[in-house]
Homo-oligomer: A and B are copies of this chain.
Amino acid sequence: MARHIAVVGATGAVGQEFIRVLEQREFPCEKITFLASARSAGKTLRFRGRDHTIAELREDSFTGVDLALFSAGAAVSRKFAPIAVKAGAVVVDNSSAFRMDPEVPLVTPEVNPEDIRKHKGIIANPNCSTIIMVVPVFPLYRANRIQRLVVSTYQAASGAGYQAMLELQQQARDVLEGRPVEKKVLPHQIAFNLFSHNSRIGENGYNEEEMKMVKETRKMFHDDAIQITATCVRVPVLRAHSEAINITFEKPMTEARVREILAKAPGVRLVDDRERNYFPMPLESSEQDDVYTGRIRQDISQPDGRGIDLFVSGDQLRKGAALNAVQIAELLN
């Protein structure tokens, strides 16, 4: 039972969502400490009807803390998560710092909740695009092993933080009013535009976001043989990521069976009305817990019946980050 919770990076887009999710889920907690950089220290945040003063994140910030929810970037996590663990806290870390560490469980509760038990103080929360993919894909994988995934993402500005969301809105205003567009957070204009995900490109030509989808899925599925290629793209949407997912199963798979499995899958909401042409949209999946899933169809390019196409959309800040982390913490209770 987490009596004293610390939220590290409380003023960021994910930090703010942590507060909302903890409130909405009535997460058991006797005391909460909001930690941020010196710049935000002294400001207040409201939680359960009371104002809490933000403290500066320091080495002695974790005394008495049972559970620390980190979302302040990989550098902060690398430095402070071990300190929090030493002080006796369990850390659920939203950064990429420990995700691929073999000693650290990487968990989506709908996929591999059992891995939580192996933790040594830190549990890593997967990348947002990965979570939104695996929630609908894993129940299918369990029914019929998946050999290959081809995924294209349509990622919201929120993945680059709160300032990127404001930048999208400001740029849209500027474009509409014929003013020059300023780029501060994102490397290219995002309003009325889209661009390849702005993470570093590796030797193999994939960017970091794409490789996260490959490696994190393999780790959570405990299956290094699953083949994945991803193209990650930022689109002018505020806070929900969408993904077109093409699946190759080991054995033939029917559309009807996929629909049957996904209708019962935890964390999945079927939005798949062909007659009304009504499918998952980021506007509707925003601020929702479930990954909206639709466009379920037999892939006609795989005549052996082993292919299925899906289109999904899930809130990047909620299931893609804060909600998943709080669900991990709930499994610890």
Identify the A interface with B (CB < 8 A). Answer: 148-150, 152, 154, 168-169, 172-173, 176, 187-189, 192-196, 198, 200-201, 204-207, 214, 227-229, 231, 233, 235-238, 242, 244, 246, 255, 274-275, 277, 279-283, 294-303, 307, 309, 311
Q: How far does the alpha carbon of A71 sit from the alpha carbon of B315 in the complex, in Å?
A: 39
Q: How far does the alpha carbon of A255 sit from the alpha carbon of B205 in the complex, in Å?
A: 10
Q: How far does the alpha carbon of A280 sit from the alpha carbon of B302 in the complex, in Å?
A: 29
Residue contacts A-B, CB under 8 angstroms, 18 given: A149-B301, A154-B194, A169-B176, A192-B236, A193-B283, A194-B237, A194-B242, A196-B311, A200-B277, A201-B275, A201-B277, A204-B298, A204-B300, A228-B301, A229-B301, A231-B311, A236-B236, A246-B246
CB neighbours (8 Å) of A307 from chain B are: 229
**B238, B275, B309, B311: the one within 8 Å of A229 (CB):** B309
State the majority secondary structure of interface residues on A: mixed
Contact B297 A188 (CB under 8 A): no
Contact A281 B193 (CB under 8 A): yes
Task: Give chain B nearest CB distance to A279 CB in angstroms.
Answer: 4
Q: Most chain-B CB neighbours within 10 Å: which of A207, A300, A302, A303? A: A300
CB neighbours (8 Å) of A302 from chain B are: 227, 229
CB neighbours (8 Å) of A205 from chain B are: 255, 274, 295-298, 309
A272, closest chain B residue (CB): B205
CB neighbours (8 Å) of A283 from chain B are: 188-189, 192-193
Q: Most chain-B CB neighbours within 10 Å: which of A169, A172, A294, A298? A: A172
Q: How far does the alpha carbon of A193 sit from the alpha carbon of B311 in the complex, in Å?
A: 14
CB neighbours (8 Å) of A282 from chain B are: 193-194
A181, closest chain B residue (CB): B283
Task: Give chain B nearest CB distance to A171 CB in angstroms.
Answer: 10
Contact A300 B206 (CB under 8 A): yes
